[in-house]
Amino acid sequence: MRGRVQPRPLGEIASAAARVFTGKGFKAAGISDVAAVLGLSHGALYTYVDSKEALLYLAFLHLTEPASLDGMAIPVVSPGLAGIVEIDARSVASAGFPALATALERRRTRPVAEELGGIVDELYRYVEGHQGLLALVESCARDIPELAELHFVRGRRVLLDQLGDYLRRRIRSGHLRPVPDVPTSARFLVESIAWFAWHRHGDPDSLMLHDDDCRRTVRHLLLAAFLPPSPGGNDDDRDG
Domain boundary among 79, 94, 120: 79
pLDDT in tens, 132-174: 999 999 999 999 999 998 888 888 899 999 999 999 999 999 9
Report if residue 50 sits inside a domain.
Answer: yes
Domain count, the chain: 2
What are the Cα distances from residue 4, in Å, to 1, 7? 5, 9
- Residues 28, 105 within the same domain: no
Domain boundary among 61, 79, 97: 79
Domain with 186 in it? 85-226
The reported pLDDT for the residue numbered 89 is 84
Cα–Cα dist 117/125, whole Å: 12
Report if residue 237 sits inside a domain.
Answer: no
CA atoms within 13 A on the CB side of 122: 16
Report if residue 234 sits inside a domain.
Answer: no
- Residues 32, 65 within the same domain: yes
Q: Please report, in tens digits, the pLDDT of each residue of the chain (240 residues total).
A: 444 556 889 999 999 999 999 999 999 999 999 999 999 998 999 999 999 999 999 999 999 999 999 989 999 999 998 999 888 888 877 877 999 999 999 877 679 999 999 999 999 999 999 999 999 999 999 999 999 988 888 888 999 999 999 999 999 999 999 999 999 999 999 999 999 999 999 999 998 999 999 999 999 999 999 999 876 555 444 443
- Residues 56, 102 within the same domain: no
Q: What is the CATH number of the domain that holds 166?
A: 1.10.357
Q: Alpha helix locations (H) across 52-203?
A: 52-64, 81-95, 98-105, 112-129, 131-140, 145-148, 157-172, 182-197
Contact 50, 75 (CB under 8 A): yes
Domain boundary among 79, 110, 127: 79
Report if residue 138 sits inside a domain.
Answer: yes
> Within 10 Å of residue 51's Cβ, how many Cβ atoms?
14
Cα–Cα dist 21/158, whole Å: 26
